[in-house]
């Protein structure tokens, strides 16, 4: 085993037409003078702390859970808030949300840059949390203070389009709150997972197993958050008041900050790169590692394109179906996504605690199957979900046309949409979590936050691509007096054909993924015999798929 030098090269890569690198040496630390063992010295030099392990997880996951619950509690019903409280036109409100969502998904790239290059994950998380809290407070004030939103509007005025829209100052306050939330997301999203993984010692088998389980439990808590946001928070906003509906997520963010305050086991990581200087041979190899990852990353855009349809046309389908459960309860169309989240929430513990140990005994591989195998399985499920969605839409549309009711609602249960949502839940459980773990493990040590930000860049790319594909279909299919596939009247359009197009793109993407996965070379993983903790890139090996 090559002996590790006491000089620790630190590197950072950020691509925006140009690439920058850094290479510095750390002076002897206090721990060296105190005569710590080589392993203790090594870990202290890299992370500045002893890992807290699972003792820290309730606080880290608690912080992340409350933070996510606040964010999704707002996002789940934000369109309704803009339409009913700010009286925005539907097109304008849609553009506001799309631009905000895209910017928010790209913001983690800049947050990761600041974290890895200057501040470290702990400080970045702290500052971003303050920004997120400020944003939620300001947006809650728009519901509390009447002067911060347009005056109320009667039902007759709404039908006649006579509602007073927001003033420039009211829009300014609203956009200011959204800006604070974007800054908060830019710092929290790329740092939360690496900060959690920092609490485990990757030199030990127990630590590596803890890291593997952390990714599954992280997304499990994430799933529970979305389920609560789609049900409880939306119900409060629709049936009680927007003051409570926005105030509750704000209070949850305050609780998330308290999670850090009360934790005695949580340690700041303090990892960051220094100012950019000349690069070393190791850093050149790290750039090569990044270049190998980019083709895998690109395949995730089409995967998320399939997921993006679940929050748009699935809702449109549900609005034209029988949503009653019993004589007195009607399922909100926007809450159907809970079936996907419920699938993930049930499947992940089974996968992590039952299936993975058995697969490990069979394959002799950590995790049971490779990360790229896991991602590929998820892609297959996403394709199946789009095919099932198309078949369900065919049945719904045929029923609606046959009965021709004045309201256009097909007399079939909305539960016909559950199979496509459940299938997409399995796609998320395999591919999405596989992506998170793949990026973290395959990126160089000082680019962990950038690794996590790539996932959100993929989501942003999928959102924009969804708009492009929708525009192409809308402008090319409505000819010779026939409505286009995405007609405003879903019963006149052919959304089922659109689903099949997305499924076809998924098949092409899966073929592309198989090609690039076969050529991918894993970065050498840490073993018990090699305690270099990802400081040097070890020998690569062929992927086994």
Answer whether 500's CB lies under 8 Å from 385's CB.
no
Six token digits for residue 253: 């963010």
Which value, in Å, is the radius of gyration of the alpha carbons in the chain?
25
Residue where the block lists tokens 């070379």: 521
Could you count the other beta carbons within 10 Å of the beta carbon of residue 495?
25
CA distance 470 to 498: 9
pTM recorded for the entire structure: 0.66
**H helix runs in 364-447, sequence order:** 371-403, 418-427, 433-442
pLDDT of residue 406: 80
Which residues are CB-contacts of 85 (< 8 A; sequence separation ≥ 6)?
142, 143, 149, 150, 242
**Phi, psi for residue 491 in degrees, rounded to 5:** -75, -20
Could you count the other beta carbons within 10 Å of the beta carbon of residue 225?
23
Domain 281-523: homologous superfamily in CATH: MFS general substrate transporter like domains (1.20.1250.20)
Answer whether 376's CB lies under 8 Å from 517's CB.
yes
Six token digits for residue 75: 């996002």
Do 52-261 and 281-523 share a fold?
yes
* Residues lower than pLDDT 70 in the chain: 1-64, 67, 90-91, 94-95, 116, 155-161, 192-196, 198-199, 201-203, 208, 212, 215-216, 219, 256-286, 289, 311, 445-450, 452, 523-545
Could you count the other beta carbons within 10 Å of the beta carbon of residue 110?
15
Where does 52-261 sit in CATH, by number? 1.20.1250.20
Q: Which residues is 329 bridged to in the sheet?
A: 325
Closest CA relative to residue 76, chosen from 316, 393, 315, 386: 315
Six token digits for residue 457: 């860049």
**Phi, psi for residue 475 in degrees, rounded to 5:** -90, -10
CA distance 200 to 202: 6
Could you count the other beta carbons within 10 Å of the beta carbon of residue 285?
16
CA distance 259 to 336: 31
Q: Which residues is 542 bridged to in the sheet?
A: 521
CA distance 408 to 394: 15
Crossing angle of helices 338-350 and 418-427, rounded to 10°: 40
CA distance 127 to 132: 9
CA distance 24 to 340: 47
Q: Which residues is 324 bridged to in the sheet?
A: 330
Could you count the other beta carbons within 10 Å of the beta carbon of residue 271?
21
CA distance 406 to 252: 44
Answer whether 425's CB lies under 8 Å from 342's CB.
yes
pLDDT of residue 160: 61
Q: Which residues of 302-323 are buried (b: 16+ CB within 10 A; e: fewer)?
A: bbbbbbbbbeebbbebbebbbb
Instruction: Return the domain boundaries, the chain.
Output: 52-261, 281-523
Closest CA relative to residue 143, chosen from 73, 51, 219: 73
Could you count the other beta carbons within 10 Å of the beta carbon of residue 538?
14
CA distance 237 to 74: 9
Answer whether 534's CB lies under 8 Å from 202's CB.
yes
Six token digits for residue 234: 């939306």
* pLDDT tens digits, 187-245: 877 776 666 676 676 667 777 677 767 766 776 777 777 778 878 887 787 778 888 88
Six token digits for residue 1: 């085993």
């Amino acid at each position: 085993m090559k002996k590790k030098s006491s000089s620790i090269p630190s590197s950072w890569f950020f691509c925006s037409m140009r690439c920058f690198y850094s290479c510095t040496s750390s002076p002897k630390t206090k721990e060296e003078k105190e005569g710590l063992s080589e392993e203790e010295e090594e870990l202290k030099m890299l992370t500045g702390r002893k890992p807290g392990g699972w003792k820290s997880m309730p606080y880290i996951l608690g912080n992340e859970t409350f933070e996510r619950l606040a964010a999704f509690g707002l996002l789940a019903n934000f369109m309704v808030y803009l339409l009913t409280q700010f009286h925005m036109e539907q097109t304008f409100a849609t553009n506001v949300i799309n631009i905000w969502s895209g910017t928010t998904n790209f913001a983690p790239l800049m947050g990761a840059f600041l974290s890895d290059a200057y501040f470290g994950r702990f400080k970045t998380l702290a500052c971003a949390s303050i920004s997120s809290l400020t944003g939620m407070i300001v947006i809650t004030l728009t519901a509390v203070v009447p002067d911060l939103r347009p005056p109320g509007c009667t039902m007759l005025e709404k039908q006649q389009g006579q509602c007073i829209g927001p003033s420039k100052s009211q829009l300014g306050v609203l956009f200011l709150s959204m800006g604070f939330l974007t800054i908060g997301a830019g710092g929290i999203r790329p740092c939360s997972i690496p900060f959690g993984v920092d609490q485990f010692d990757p030199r030990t088998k127990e630590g590596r197993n803890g890291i593997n389980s952390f990714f599954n439990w992280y997304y499990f808590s994430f799933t529970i958050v979305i389920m609560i946001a789609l049900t409880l928070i939306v119900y409060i906003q629709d049936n009680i008041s927007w003051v409570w509906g926005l105030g509750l997520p704000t209070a949850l963010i305050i609780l998330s900050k308290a999670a850090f305050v009360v934790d005695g086991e949580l340690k700041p990581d303090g990892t960051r790169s220094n100012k950019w200087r000349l690069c070393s041979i190791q850093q050149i190899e790290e750039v090569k590692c990044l270049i190998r990852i980019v083709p895998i990353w690109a395949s995730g855009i089409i995967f998320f394109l399939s997921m993006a349809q679940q929050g748009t046309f699935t809702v449109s389908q549900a609005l034209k179906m029988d949503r009653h459960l019993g004589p007195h309860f009607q399922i909100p169309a926007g809450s159907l996504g809970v079936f996907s989240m419920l699938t993930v929430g049930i499947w992940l513990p089974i996968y992590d605690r039952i299936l993975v140990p058995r697969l490990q005994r069979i394959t002799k591989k950590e995790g049971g199957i490779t990360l790229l195998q896991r991602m590929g399985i998820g892609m297959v499920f996403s394709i199946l979900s789009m095919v099932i969605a198309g078949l369900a839409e065919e049945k719904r549309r045929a029923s609606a046309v046959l009965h021709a009711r004045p309201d256009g609602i097909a007399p079939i249960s909305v539960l016909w949409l559950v199979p496509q949502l459940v299938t997409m839940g399995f796609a998320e459980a395999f591919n999405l979590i596989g992506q998170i773990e793949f990026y973290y493990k395959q990126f160089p040590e000082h680019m962990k936050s950038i690794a996590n930000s790539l996932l959100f860049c993929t989501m942003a790319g999928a959102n924009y691509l969804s708009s492009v594909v929708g525009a192409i279909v809308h402008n090319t299919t409505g000819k010779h007096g026939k409505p286009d596939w995405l007609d405003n009247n879903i019963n006149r359009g052919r959304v089922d054909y659109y689903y099949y197009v997305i499924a076809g793109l998924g098949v092409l993407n899966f073929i592309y993924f198989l090609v690039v996965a076969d050529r991918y070379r894993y970065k050498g993983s840490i073993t018990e015999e090699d305690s270099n903790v990802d400081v040097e890139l070890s020998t690569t090996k062929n992927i086994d798929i």
